[in-house]
Amino acid sequence: MKKVYLLLHIAIMIYAAGGIFSKQAAQSEFMSVRYCICYAIVLAFLIIYAVIWQYILKYLPLTTAIAHKSVTVFWGFLYGMLFFQEKITLCNIIGAVLIMIGIGLVNSGER
């Protein structure tokens, strides 16, 4: 079961990484080569994510999988900070911690 959770979080990282290329495309001239390449990468990431997501749903309840998808916020913060020099505020950190607590509560209810 741990492998399924690991795969779930890898899928979430892939999904969130699509945001990096989406933002890169948004900063490019509309329909330029860079724009098209970035959006092609976004689509590829979404397809990979969708395939993994379907596999995960064979083994996890939908409510659990959806709760874990909230971790996308954490990856968004991290990717924004690393790739776009965005600032993470105290409110961002508190919100991310509350999300993690919520995921823990959802998972504890499964046992």
DSSP string, the chain: -HHHHHHHHHHHHHHHHHHHHHHHHHTSPTT-HHHHHHHHHHHHHHHHHHHHHHHHHHHS-HHHHHHHHTTHHHHHHHHHHHHH-----HHHHHHHHHHHHHHHHHHHTT-
**Tens of pLDDT along the chain (111 residues)?**
789 999 999 999 999 999 999 999 999 999 999 999 999 999 999 999 999 999 999 999 998 888 888 888 888 888 989 998 999 899 988 988 888 888 778 777 655
* pLDDT for the residue 31: 95
